[in-house]
Amino acid sequence: MWESLLGIADGLVESVGEGVTQVLDGRVDLEVQKLQETRKDPDVLKAVEPVKATRTDGSTIVGDTNKAGEVVAPKPMFMGMDKQTLMIGGGVLTALIVGVAVIARGRG
C-alpha cells in the first residue's frame, strides 16, 4: 500500500516539476524576445548613444550625460582612480611612513 502511495507521489512531483520547467522556459523566452525587440527600437538606441562632438583638429570627443541629459566632463582618472582618491591614499601613506620613522627613531 505504501509503495503505491509513494509511486503516486513520485509521479505527482515529476509532473509538477515538468510544468514548472515549462512555465519558466516560456517566461525566459518571453523576456529574451522583449529584449531583442527593445534593442531594435530606434528611440532606445538613441537614448543610450553617447554624446559626440568634434574638436577643431577633427578628432571625436565622446562625453557622458547626467540624468538631466546635460553633457558632463569625464573625471580625470589615473589607473582607474580619481584624483581625490589618489590624494587621500597619498596622505595615508605619508602618515604611515612618518609614523614608522618616529617609532623607529624612538627605539634607537
Instruction: Report the alpha-carbon distance of residue 32 to residue 34 in Å, rounded.
Output: 5
pLDDT for 85 equals 86
What does residue 72 show for φ and ψ, rounded to 5 degrees? Answer: -115, 145
The CA distance from 32 to 25, in Å, is: 11
Q: What is the pLDDT of residue 93?
A: 95
Q: For residue range 16-61, list pLDDT tens digits in order.
A: 778 878 888 888 888 888 877 777 777 766 766 666 667 778 777 6
Identify which has the larger pLDDT, 92 or 37.
92
Percent of the chain with pLDDT over 90: 15
Q: What's residue 81's pLDDT?
A: 77
Global confidence as pTM:
0.33
> What would the mean pLDDT of 75-83 be, rounded to a whole number?
72
**Pair 8, 14: CB distance under 8 Å:** no
106 vs 99: CA distance, rounded Å: 11
Cell of 84: 581625490
